[in-house]
Amino acid sequence: MARTVVDPVTRIEGHLRVEVEVTNGKVSDAWVSGTLWRGMELVLQDRNPEDAFWVSQRICGVCPISHSHASAQSTESALGITIPNNARIIRNLIEAAQFLHSHILWFYTLAALDYVNPVNALSANIADTYALAQAAGTRIADFGAVATRLKGFVENGQLSIFTGHEGWFGVGAEKHPGYVLPPELDLIATAHYLEALELQAVAAEIIAVMSGKFPHHMTSIPGGTAFVPTEQKLDDILFRFTRVKEFIDTALIPDTLAIAPYILGAASFGGGCGNFLSWGVFEAEDFDPYKRYLPRGFIQTSKGLTAEKVEATDVNEYVTHSWYSSPSGLNPAEGKTEPAWEPYSTDGKYSWGKAARCKDLPAEVGPLSRMLVGYVNGVKPVKDIVDFALGKLSAAAGATLEPTVLVSLLGRVAARNLEAAVVAGWAIEWVNELIAAIKGGDSSYFVTERAEAGKGVGLWEAPRGSVGHWMTVENGRIANYQVVAPTTWDISPRDEKGVPGPMEQALIGAPVVDATRPLEVMQVAHSFDP
């Protein structure tokens, strides 16, 4: 039995420590620690409620739009505001652009290097690489030129943008045994890694057209939107969404399906707690969260693959193992954020993350949760692409795989990429819906009427999972503000019953081939996009 610590976990957004106990080549226990104190709840106290839109974006540099949308919704809920239909569509489009930016960034830049070995790509046969790309139906690039660039990196004694992985990638006997892709597939994925750097920027350009320079946008303010589209801007938006969708359809999805057969072992671990929460995202015209394009729901796989209703009142946060002196077990509507650091101890307090619980259970949030909830609710684009992917995986495995196989490391990785394809398709529909609304004479984007006091909550989804903002307004000022961010759910520590959080449970049981290079631990951690 041995302890392995990764601190900090790199290729994530934030500060994270993972400590695991390894017994007989498997993780037997795990502790996940958020090591960053943010405290936005305290920053927002006694401010104008509209200020929360601007301040809360600073919670995250990758999903600021989702925080701003949840914040705007909490303000609108508290002050009795209903936004116009055009504002609904525009918020969907801005959110979609952020989702596509984040998902492309996550797979190629943040997670792919857990599976793709650029050094191994140097031994690829270029002709065989083109043949493999054609057979896989994936995007053709100048694979010879990419190989030449890689060769230059290695011969110069460094890996350029891949620096820091030398001891993991290696070649021959030095290569970590977890890297199992053939060199031709490594070269294809590396070429698309480089192209993805440009395509995620295209997604950010969509945001810039509608709401200002990413990451901190300016237009989804409480009451609707300050963006009024023109024909030229809608053409710019449609062109860029189409370009991003084409990359997803011809690179991201085929690459995912090409890599999956080589890592089918990842379908046997990393499933986590088996509970999945989605607040729902992308509003439909009736603003019913259970009828959002990706609907609200809660799944307990121990009860079967069915979704049940879930509301803001089902949430509680425990601080038994968190660095707070606040009362434990509060619903965020009455929550407190009172920091009280003490030395790190896995037996005591070890994280700035609170232990968020839904219906008193740990709950995973993120694309896997949304895709599962969408699947069981019969959302057609979700069901179609999940069934398509399951068919491909079943063929590779030589056995029929049921949707429950998605409750795994492999399923979590695949779900994020499948979701990108679904959202890209919807985004183009929403642009056309907005064009039709404008041609029909709808020129309403913002409402000014609002109350001076009230309690509200905004429940929404960020690319990495469920986000909730709870607000109490008294005499026109914020009396209390509480945030349960996506990563709060996933990295949550043990609760007062000693039950580990979702990522901790996903780590338990994971194989560890080399405790000095715990690649499998990083694969599980990165799969949550914490």
215-257 pLDDT, tens digit per residue, is: 889 999 999 999 999 999 999 999 999 999 999 999 999 999 9
Closest CA to 375 of 389, 395, 357, 356: 389
Give the side-chain half-sphere CA count within 13 A for 118: 28
CA-to-CA dists, residue 438 to 211, 443, 481, angstroms: 19, 6, 36
CB atoms within 10 A of CB 138: 23
Query: What residues contact 232, with CB distance under 8 A and at least 6 apart?
Result: none
Whether residue 65 is predicted with pLDDT greater than 90 in this model: the reply is yes
pLDDT band at 173 (very low <50, low <70, confident <90, very high): low
**CATH class given for the domain over 2-527:** mainly alpha
pLDDT band at 13 (very low <50, low <70, confident <90, very high): confident
Write down the pLDDT at residue 381.
Answer: 98
In one letter, which amino acid is 373?
V
Closest CA to 192 of 158, 152, 159, 146: 146
Write down the pLDDT at residue 166.
Answer: 56
Least confident of 90-99, 146-155, 244-253, 421-430: 146-155
Give the side-chain half-sphere CA count within 13 A for 265: 12
Q: Which residue has the tokens 């057209």?
A: 209
290-332 pLDDT, tens digit per residue, is: 999 999 999 999 999 999 999 999 999 999 999 999 999 999 9
Are the beta carbons of 99 and 423 closer than 8 angstroms?
yes
Q: Which two tokens stand for residue 100?
A: 């596509």
372-399 pLDDT, tens digit per residue, is: 999 999 999 999 999 999 999 999 999 9
Report which DSSP code applies to 376: H
**What is the C-alpha separation between 522 and 502, in angstroms, rounded?**
15
Closest CA to 64 of 479, 497, 455, 462: 462
CA-to-CA dists, residue 199 to 12, 149, 236, 244, 279, angstroms: 19, 20, 15, 6, 28
Whether residue 14 is predicted with pLDDT greater than 60 in this model: the reply is yes
Whether residue 163 is predicted with pLDDT greater than 70 in this model: the reply is no
Are the beta carbons of 207 and 220 closer than 8 angstroms?
no
Are the beta carbons of 428 and 238 closer than 8 angstroms?
yes
Whether residue 145 is predicted with pLDDT greater than 60 in this model: the reply is yes
Whether residue 165 is predicted with pLDDT greater than 70 in this model: the reply is no
Strand arrangement of the beta sheet that strand 454-462 belongs to:
454-462, 465-474, 477-484
Q: Which two tokens stand for residue 187?
A: 């070269």
**What is the C-alpha separation between 91 and 265, in angstroms, rounded?**
39
CA-to-CA dists, residue 247 to 108, 203, 371, 417, 448, angstroms: 12, 11, 21, 12, 40
Write down the pLDDT at residue 154.
Answer: 80
**Dihedral sign of CA atoms 408, 413, 419, 421 in order:** negative
How many residues are there in the chain? Answer: 530
Q: Which residues of 156-167 are buried (b: 16+ CB within 10 A; e: fewer)?
A: eeebeebeebee
Q: How many Å is the Cα radius of gyration of the chain? A: 23
Whether residue 157 is predicted with pLDDT greater than 80 in this model: the reply is no
Closest CA to 160 of 215, 201, 199, 197: 197
For the chain, what are the domain ranges? 2-527
Whether residue 480 is predicted with pLDDT greater than 80 in this model: the reply is yes
**What is the C-alpha separation between 467 and 66, in angstroms, rounded?**
8
Closest CA to 167 of 221, 159, 103, 35: 159
Q: Which two tokens stand for residue 68?
A: 């701003």
In one letter, which amino acid is 425?
G
Q: What is the mean pLDDT of residues 403-425?
A: 98
**Dihedral sign of CA atoms 423, 428, 429, 430 in order:** positive
476: β partners: none
Whether residue 164 is predicted with pLDDT greater than 60 in this model: the reply is no
